[in-house]
């Protein structure tokens, strides 16, 4: 059963300033901040849910949470049993990036609180974790995809504070993408190559439908989506 937190809860909580509530707890933010922004909506408690509902900001945040968890899970596996043919310094880079993704996953988990979706189980069978080239290729795919996902989702966010947070994370994903590309093809144009940056100098922005098509193969159970 899905639990629902209705607007009526808000009247119980009174009406302190929005900012005070944002500073207290994730649930405070959840219950109070968004309904002031979203018109006539209710917030659906998402815990235990597999579905990403893009009807509100929490859908977007859960989307980011899911993608960050995928990235974190990938690097955790890499760091636990790194390919033997990594070159000097590369393990440290992958370890650092993995630590960032774990921080992002933890951030969204805490921030969403009871509103977070149940993460899918991941299926890593398509990645050969024993080889440097396949691990770096997978990392490049995840990082480039992450950048395009945040870029495409930004305009769906209705609360300025959430948008700023997304901005604080996406540039780190872009730094990762450039770094992985630099490991694969050092000191070339690849870090911001013409395959991802267009003639106007713009990185990719992809809608959730296209991002999910890229990452679904890594989910044991497909993530369902509504509200797009």
Residue 172 in the binding site for other proteins (CB under 8 A)? yes
SS (H, E, C) 44-77: ECCCCCCCEECCCHHHHHHHHHHHHHHHHHHHHH
Task: Report the site for other proteins in 143-162 (rule: CB under 8 A).
Answer: 147, 150-152, 154-155, 157-158, 160-161
Q: Please, which residue, 34 or 223, has the CB nearer to other proteins? A: 34
**Binding residue for other proteins (CB under 8 A) from 10, 26, 137, 214?**
26
Residue with tokens 């899911």: 66
How many whole angstroms separate alpha carbon 9 and alpha carbon 161?
22
**Binding residue for other proteins (CB under 8 A) from 9, 38, 137, 178?**
178
Counting every residue, how long is the chain? 228
Minimum CB separation of residue 57 from other proteins in Å reads 11
φ, ψ of residue 97 to 5 degrees: the values are: -60, -45
Residue 204 in the binding site for other proteins (CB under 8 A)? yes
6-14, 74-82, 189-197, 219-227 -> range binding other proteins (CB under 8 A): 189-197
Number of residues that bind other proteins (CB under 8 A): 59
Question: Residues 155, 58: contact at Cβ < 8 Å?
Answer: no
Residue 5 in the binding site for other proteins (CB under 8 A)? no
What is the separation of C-alpha 135 from the centre of its chain, rounded to a whole number of angstroms? 20
> Which residues touch 79 (CB under 8 Å, ≥6 apart)?
91, 94, 95, 98
1-9, 48-56, 121-129, 173-181 -> range binding other proteins (CB under 8 A): 173-181
Q: Please, which residue, 50 or 132, has the CB nearer to other proteins? A: 132
How many whole angstroms separate alpha carbon 54 and alpha carbon 80?
34
How many whole angstroms separate alpha carbon 203 and alpha carbon 6?
39
2-10, 20-28, 116-124, 216-224 -> range binding other proteins (CB under 8 A): 20-28
Beta bridge mates, 53: 226
Site residues (CB under 8 A) for other proteins? 22-26, 29, 93, 96, 99-104, 106-107, 110-111, 147, 150-152, 154-155, 157-158, 160-161, 163-165, 167-179, 182, 187-189, 191-193, 197, 199-205
């Amino acid at each position: 059963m899905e639990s629902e937190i209705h607007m009526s809860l808000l009247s119980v909580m009174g009406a302190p300033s929005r900012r005070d509530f944002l500073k207290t707890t994730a649930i405070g933010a959840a219950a109070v901040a968004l309904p002031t922004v979203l018109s006539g909506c209710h917030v659906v408690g998402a815990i235990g849910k597999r579905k990403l509902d893009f009807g509100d900001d929490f859908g977007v945040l859960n989307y980011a949470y899911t993608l960050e968890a995928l990235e974190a899970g990938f690097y955790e596996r890499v760091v636990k049993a790194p390919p033997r043919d990594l070159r000097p310094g590369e393990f440290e880079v992958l370890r650092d990036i993995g630590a960032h993704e774990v921080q992002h996953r933890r951030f969204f988990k805490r921030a969403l609180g009871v509103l977070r979706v149940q993460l899918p189980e991941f299926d890593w069978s398509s990645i050969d974790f024993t080889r440097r080239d396949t691990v770096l290729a997978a990392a490049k795919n995840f990082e480039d995809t992450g950048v395009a996902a945040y870029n495409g989702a930004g305009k769906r966010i209705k609360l300025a504070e959430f948008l700023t947070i997304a901005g604080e994370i996406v540039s780190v994903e872009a730094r990762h993408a450039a770094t992985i590309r630099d490991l694969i093809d050092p000191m070339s144009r690849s870090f911001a190559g013409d395959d991802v940056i267009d003639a106007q100098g713009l990185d990719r922005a992809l809608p959730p439908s296209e991002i999910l098509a890229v990452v679904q193969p890594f989910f044991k159970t497909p993530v369902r989506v509504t509200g797009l």
